[in-house]
Structure 1
Amino acid sequence: MSEHLPPLREVIKSHELQAKKAFGQNFLLDLNLTGKIARVAGDISDSVIYEVGPGPGGLTRGLLSNGAKRVVAVEMDQRCIPALNQVSEAFENRLAVHQGDAMKSDELELLNLAPNETARIASNLPYNVGTALFVKWLTLEKWQPWYASLTLMFQQEVAERIVAKPNTKAYGRLSVLAQWRGNVRIAMRVPAAAFTPPPKVSSAIIHFEPTEPLDANVQLNELEKVVERAFGQRRKMLRASLKGLGVNAHTLLENANIDPTSRAEDLTVKQFVELALHYQKMRA
């Protein structure tokens, strides 16, 4: 158990695990904090947790101490593997560690879920791939997804973009994708001083639970095209920013009952879905 493990600062020193910018690393060493983050994920006693970028294992310890059935971790930094293997031994091999790139990993193959097992993702995501991983998990073709929830650490600015509402500067592509397919909230904020080394910005934990999409008829790739085009030139009116979609933008907006002088940030997620549905019809 965790009491058999050395403090994380000792682990970092003995394994020479100074954080590297190349891996987007900022380590959490306060086990009270990592335990609190683990509890944001909910009752994990029947869950297999997928963790990306565990580093020396701060959040990993929190997840296992709070009763996770199993943790499957993917770590790109070879230096961290021996430290994580120590965690696995201390927690009766409830931790499986894989060295590799999470962007290229087949999560279901690594998790090897039994029929009655629930999967959740919980990670202090490396800053350099955090948004890309989140989009990967949001844009799975098959929905409902294989995971029951996401509990993820982001830079605070990114977290605020994910939960942003219309008519705000933070509202954009991430907001629409996340809120189209689930319920998302900022569960807690984490000051820069909590990390080693401290980053230049504060961080936040978001908790996402997938739901049925607002309209199951909308195709993911069509919604992404519309949203990307709209926010790609967010200062322009939609009648101008949507011109590159290959259909008459004015007719598209008229069919969706949207004012052509509106801008991307004026539209609700539901309106973006309606726009994508009409775009599909016009392209058919």
Structure 2
Amino acid sequence: MADLPPLPPLREVIAKHGLSASKALGQNFLFDEQLLGRIAAIPGDLDDKSVLEIGPGPGGLTRALLRAGARVTAIEMDERCLPALSELEAAFPGQLKVIHGDAMKIDHGELIGGPFAVVANLPYNVGTALFTNWLGGEAWPPQWSSLTLMFQQEVAKRIVSQPGGSAYGRLAVLAQWRSTAKLAMKVHRSAFTPPPKVMSAIVHVTPKDMPDGVSAKVLEQITAAAFGQRRKMLRQSLKSVRGALDALAELGIDETRRAETLQVDEFVQLARKLS
């Protein structure tokens, strides 16, 4: 890799452009470049790999990804951050493309046009919606090779949780039925400016083979119904899903159980019966 350009400290960049984290956009800035480097290392070797970043803000994680040799496409909604990001574009010619827009309204695969890793300190207000979008759909394997995402710690725990606990729910099933999700790193609230009220954590997700004969749409319908009334027995929570109670009986799954006691594989078996 060529010599890396010298960059001013992130605090200087923020001060120069008069930036402050927007509560409305769910922003919290990270300044610790050592920590940002560790986050950029989680997906593995990124040299000359395509990376999608959502909500780069002033570009703290972006510069860590660029230093790792990644070709970064960054989608930023906050136009106040664009001048700081354009300075990074100039410092790393041909390596960074900044898109001003709403990540929820952009087709990421079409934008990048090939396999890509997603690495992002997701804005809190859209993080879960983006995550479920990446995990959804019938096409599998997806165009993304991995997701390395910062969430509130509570959300991160829900993604990697196992049956039986209060954290286990729809997010866990959607994340684990055809991908592997692990908690890669915890990030203390004091690392951010301004410090959020809650702790954060980074989840790393990689796709695995999709089970045969299962529709993602059906699985999403079942988990939405089952966990939408999680305190109720399956015979009550799933009665709105056509054929679900018969499928439970055929599979030998006790209809008096609650959704949080079912293994991911049991949800997959149920979806296969109904697909």
3-state SS in 2 of match to 1:49: strand
Q: Which runs of 4+ in 1 moved over 3 A?
A: none
3-state SS in 1 of match to 2:165: coil
CA distance in 2, matches of 1:47, 1:256: 44
Q: Which residue of 2 aligns with 1:133?
A: 130
3-state SS in 2 of match to 1:22: coil
Q: Which has the larger share of helix?
A: 1
Task: Give 1:189-204 correspondences, 5 Å limit.
Answer: 189-204=186-201
CA distance in 2, matches of 1:174, 1:256: 23
CA-based RMSD: 1.3
- Give the Å deviation of 1:240: 1.1
> Residues 270 and 216 of structure 1: is their aligned pair in 2 closer, same or farther, counting only changes over 3 Å?
same
| Alpha carbons 2:214, 2:271 under 8 Å: kept | yes
Aligned pair 1:151/2:148, yes or no? yes
Q: Which residue of 1 aligns with 2:227?
A: 231
Q: Which residue of 115, 120, 123 corresponds with 2:117?
A: 120
Task: Give 1:21-170 correspondences, 5 Å limit.
Answer: 21-68=23-70, 70-113=71-114, 118-170=115-167
- Give the Å deviation of 1:3: 5.0
TM value normalised by structure 1:
0.93
| Alpha carbons 2:148, 2:205 under 8 Å: kept | yes
- Give the Å deviation of 1:4: 2.6
CA distance in 1, matches of 2:120, 2:109: 17
Give the gaps of 5 or more residues in structure 1.
none
CA distance in 1, matches of 2:202, 2:90: 28
CA distance in 1, matches of 2:31, 2:4: 13
CA distance in 1, matches of 2:4, 2:185: 24
3-state SS in 2 of match to 1:174: helix
CA distance in 2, matches of 1:273, 1:257: 14
- Give the Å deviation of 1:248: 6.1
The residue identity in structure 1 corresponding to 2:78 is: D
CA distance in 2, matches of 1:3, 1:198: 29
> Residues 2 and 17 of structure 1: is their aligned pair in 2 closer, same or farther, counting only changes over 3 Å?
farther
CA distance in 2, matches of 1:88, 1:245: 50
| Alpha carbons 2:124, 2:151 under 8 Å: kept | yes
CA distance in 2, matches of 1:182, 1:74: 25
| Alpha carbons 2:244, 2:270 under 8 Å: kept | no
Q: Which residue of 256, 259, 264 corresponds with 2:254?
A: 259
Percent identity among equivalent residues? 55
| Alpha carbons 2:137, 2:217 under 8 Å: kept | no
CA distance in 2, matches of 1:22, 1:264: 34
Q: Which residue of 14, 19, 22 corresponds with 1:20?
A: 22
3-state SS in 1 of match to 2:84: helix
Q: Deviations over 1:60-110 (max 9, x none)?
A: 011111221x00000000010110011111122311000000001111232
| Alpha carbons 2:127, 2:151 under 8 Å: kept | yes
3-state SS in 2 of match to 1:127: coil
- Give the Å deviation of 1:279: 2.4
| Alpha carbons 1:2, 1:61 under 8 Å: kept | no
Q: Which residue of 2 aligns with 1:209?
A: 206
| Alpha carbons 2:43, 2:204 under 8 Å: kept | yes
CA distance in 1, matches of 2:139, 2:242: 27
Give the aligned length.
Answer: 273
Aligned pair 1:173/2:170, yes or no? yes
3-state SS in 1 of match to 2:240: helix
3-state SS in 2 of match to 1:244: coil
3-state SS in 1 of match to 2:69: coil
- Give the Å deviation of 1:231: 0.6
CA distance in 1, matches of 2:51, 2:35: 18
